[in-house]
Amino acid sequence: MGKEMKSKLGTKKQMPSGRWYCAVERGVKADGTRRVLSATVDTEEEADIQIQRMAVQLGRNPQLGRGVTLFDVWRLYQLTKGERLAKKTMQGYTWYMGHVWLPALGDRDVTLISREDVQEVMLTLRRDCADRSRRILSSVLTFAVNRGLLDENVIRKGGFELPGDTGSAYEDESVWDDDPFAAIEGKRDVWDARTVLTALPLMRGLPLEPAWLVMVGAGLRVEEALALRRMDVRRIDIGGRLVTQVAVHHARTDLEERKRTKTKRSVRIVAVMEPFGSRLWEIAEGVPDCEGLVCPVSASNQNHRWREYFMEPPTSKHCPKTGVWRGRLHGLPYVPLARMRATHATLMQEAGVLDSLNAAVHGHSEQVSREHYMRGDVTAAAAQTERYLRLVL
């Protein structure tokens, strides 16, 4: 039998058969016997995983101190909190931890990870993922605090420098000598009202049009827009005015065909502002099955399809069928489809809608009275933004 190897969580050793025995102990019972869980597995890696599972089952946390690495904490996170997260969310966490934090700090004692360590890693990343990666690591470190592995999460509060905060964030500094206002506005990652209205007729007939309409017109997330069925869209008369409303209660991602919304507050009824609402209703009426999807584009293909709209249009008259929609939005500033939700929020802000109501419309976790805001006020907010759009024309 191999030599017994101990850690803060448990012990493991290889048996003559080649298999691995692992055990976790926690204290002594009233009759004097030890509280032990044990198992036999095929590999050392499986033994490590099993030790962590048994430690969770016994409620054992290693004492504060040396020896627990970020990799250990991450494995515990995966086995506990990670199993309660949406598959899509956990996929993102796994990617950032596996590609950013574990290669850089995985072997580091979790009690010794400092703000300076995290800042150094962040500056090696692209600006658009540096802060997201920090927030994911912060979630894992907060988990470590809750499990008794850390006194505090040292990166939870306080600002961090992002790539591009110092020096030039732009390749061409000459833009400042031409039109500095246009240069700054050109870097915004949302569309302004004029761009939205320019895109409206260009989007007509595109496979992603229904999702775009309900995102820019009602602030839905991509996965919420892709999950809408014919029965989730209605056209009703409110005070002599026809309003299109959508019932948001599920989401559709590339990992889960249908799942719950991101949070409980995400379940909501939202009015779609005009002119997007009437067009959405026109499309929904054409769906023959009440359970049929209003936007049947695959969740795994929506990013690629959206990018195609901004490419150079095909020059050949005999372009392949798959490229028939290519280049329809060419010339408009590219932003990810997901930013159409932020575009809607920006339009509402510019129209003077209260931030608290704006948050309620988008299903954010702001502390607002849903009984007060999520009824007729939602329709009033859509009408207020519609009046703003008419002024832009």
Query: What DSSP line would sit under 62-129, residue for residue?
Result: PPSSTT-BHHHHHHHHHHTGGGGS-HHHHHHHHHHIIIIIHHHHTTSBGGG--HHHHHHHHTTS-HHH
What's the confidence (pLDDT) of residue 74?
Answer: 93
Q: Are residues 128 and 227 in the same domain?
A: no
Q: What's the number of domains the chain is made of?
A: 3
> Is residue 178 assigned to a domain?
no
What's the confidence (pLDDT) of residue 373?
Answer: 30
> Is residue 168 assigned to a domain?
no
What's the confidence (pLDDT) of residue 48?
Answer: 83
d(CA 244, CA 266): 18
> Is residue 218 assigned to a domain?
yes
What's the confidence (pLDDT) of residue 65?
Answer: 39
Q: Are residues 275 and 369 in the same domain?
A: yes
> Is residue 187 assigned to a domain?
no
Residue partners of 90: CB distance under 8 A and separation at least 6: 78, 82
Q: 271: which strand partners? A: 245
Q: Are residues 221 and 284 in the same domain?
A: yes
Q: What is the mean pLDDT of each run of 10 residues along the chain (393 residues)?
A: 73 90 71 74 85 68 59 89 84 92 92 91 87 92 84 85 62 46 54 91 95 93 93 90 91 82 80 92 94 91 90 70 77 90 84 63 46 43 74 72
| Tokens coding 150 | 């850390």
What's the confidence (pLDDT) of residue 201?
Answer: 95
Q: Are residues 324 and 261 in the same domain?
A: yes
**pLDDT single digits (tens) 57-69:** 665 444 433 468 8
Q: Are residues 83 and 46 in the same domain?
A: no
**pLDDT single digits (tens) 108-122:** 888 889 999 999 999
> Is residue 24 assigned to a domain?
yes
Contact call for residues 246 and 214 (beta carbons, < 8 A) = yes
Contacts of 38-42 spanning 24+ positions with Cβ under 8 A: 40/15
CATH number for the domain harbouring residue 275:
1.10.443
> Is residue 173 assigned to a domain?
no
Q: Are residues 136 and 146 in the same domain?
A: yes
Q: Are residues 55 and 66 in the same domain?
A: no
d(CA 381, CA 214): 15
* 87: number of Cβ within 10 Å: 11
What's the confidence (pLDDT) of residue 286?
Answer: 94
What's the confidence (pLDDT) of residue 214?
Answer: 95
What's the confidence (pLDDT) of residue 319?
Answer: 54
What's the confidence (pLDDT) of residue 104?
Answer: 93
Q: Are residues 335 and 296 in the same domain?
A: yes
- Give φ, ψ of 240 to 5 degrees: 80, 10
pTM above 0.75? Answer: no
What's the confidence (pLDDT) of residue 211?
Answer: 95
> Is residue 177 assigned to a domain?
no
> Is residue 183 assigned to a domain?
no
What's the confidence (pLDDT) of residue 357?
Answer: 59
Q: Are residues 156 and 271 in the same domain?
A: no
Q: Are residues 206 and 334 in the same domain?
A: yes
Q: Are residues 134 and 203 in the same domain?
A: no
Considering 39, 60, 81, which residue would you say is the last residue of a domain? 60
d(CA 295, CA 299): 10
Contact call for residues 254 and 300 (beta carbons, < 8 A) = yes
- What separation, in Å, do the N-terminal and C-terminal C-alpha atoms of the chain show? 81
CATH number for the domain harbouring residue 90:
1.10.150.130
DSSP type of residue 133 = H
d(CA 272, CA 348): 12
Q: Are residues 219 and 203 in the same domain?
A: yes
Q: Which domain holds residue 365?
A: 193-392
Contact call for residues 5 and 48 (beta carbons, < 8 A) = no
| Tokens coding 58 | 């016994």
